[in-house]
Copies of this chain bind each other. A is one copy, B any other.
Amino acid sequence: MIGLQDVARAAGVSPATASRALHRPDLVALRTRERVEQAALELGYRPNVLARGLRTRGSRTIGLIVTDILNPFHATLAKGVQDAAEAQGYTVLMFNSDEQPDKERRALETLHGHLPMGLIVVPTARTRENLSVVAGLPTVELDRASGLDGAHTVMVDNVSGAREAVAHLLGLGHRHVGMIVGNLDISTARERLQGYREALEAAGLPYDDGLVLPGDHREQGGRLAALRLLSGRERPTALFVGNNEMTVGAVLAARELGLEIPGDLSLVGFDDSRWAQTMSPALSVVSQPTYDLGQLACQHLLSLIAGQSLPGSVRLPTRMVYRQSTAPATVLA
Q: Which residues of A come within 8 Å of B, CB atoms?
A: 1, 44, 46-51, 53-54, 59, 69-70, 72, 75-76, 78-79, 82, 91-96, 109-110, 112-115, 133, 248, 251-252, 273-275, 278-280
Bound: A72/B94 CA distance, A? 17
Q: Which residues of B contact A110 (CB under 8 A)?
A: 91
Kindly name the residue among A1, A54, A273 whose own CB sees the greatest number of chain B CB atoms within 10 A: A54
Across the A-B interface, give the 9 residue pairs with the lowest CB-CB distance, nearest first. Answer: A275-B275, A49-B113, A278-B279, A50-B54, A50-B53, A280-B280, A50-B50, A46-B113, A275-B278
Closest residue of B by beta carbon distance from A57: B1
Q: Which residues of B contact A278 (CB under 8 A)?
A: 248, 251-252, 275, 278-279
Bound: A275/B244 CA distance, A? 12
Bound: A278/B283 CA distance, A? 11
Q: Is there an interface contact between B75 and A70, defined as CB atoms closer than 8 Å? A: yes
Bound: A51/B280 CA distance, A? 56
Q: Which residues of B contact A69 (CB under 8 A)?
A: 69, 75, 78-79, 82
Given A50-B54, A82-B95, 16 new contacts (CB under 8 A):
A48-B54, A48-B115, A50-B51, A50-B53, A50-B59, A51-B54, A54-B54, A70-B72, A79-B96, A82-B96, A248-B278, A273-B274, A274-B275, A275-B278, A279-B280, A280-B280
8 contacts between A and B (CB under 8 A): A46-B112, A49-B115, A51-B54, A69-B82, A70-B72, A92-B94, A252-B278, A274-B274
Question: What's the minimum C-beta distance from A133 to chain B, rounded to whole angstroms?
Answer: 8
Q: Which residues of B contact A44 (CB under 8 A)?
A: 133
Known interface pairs A69-B75, A79-B96, A94-B92; A114-B50 also in contact (CB < 8 Å): yes
Q: Is there an interface contact between A91 and B91, defined as CB atoms closer than 8 Å? A: no
Q: Which residues of B contact A53 (CB under 8 A)?
A: 50
Question: What's the minimum C-beta distance from A254 to chain B, rounded to whole angstroms?
Answer: 11
Bound: A82/B59 CA distance, A? 22
Q: Which residues of B contact A70 (CB under 8 A)?
A: 72, 75-76, 79
Bound: A75/B72 CA distance, A? 8
Question: What's the minimum C-beta distance from A276 to chain B, rounded to whole angstroms?
Answer: 8
Q: Which residues of B contact A47 (CB under 8 A)?
A: 113
Bound: A94/B50 CA distance, A? 17
Question: What's the minimum C-beta distance from A71 to chain B, rounded to whole angstroms?
Answer: 9
Question: What's the minimum C-beta distance from A55 to chain B, rounded to whole angstroms?
Answer: 9
Q: Which residues of B contact A49 (CB under 8 A)?
A: 113-115
Bound: A92/B110 CA distance, A? 11
Q: Which residues of B contact A75 (CB under 8 A)?
A: 69-70, 72, 75
Question: What's the minimum C-beta distance from A270 to chain B, rounded to whole angstroms?
Answer: 16
Q: Which residues of B contact A72 (CB under 8 A)?
A: 70, 72, 75
Bound: A49/B111 CA distance, A? 9
Known interface pairs A274-B248, A279-B275; A91-B114 also in contact (CB < 8 Å): yes
Question: What's the minimum C-beta distance from A52 to chain B, rounded to whole angstroms?
Answer: 8
Question: What's the minimum C-beta distance from A26 to chain B, rounded to whole angstroms?
Answer: 24
Q: Is there an interface contact between A109 and B279, defined as CB atoms closer than 8 Å? A: no
Bound: A279/B278 CA distance, A? 6
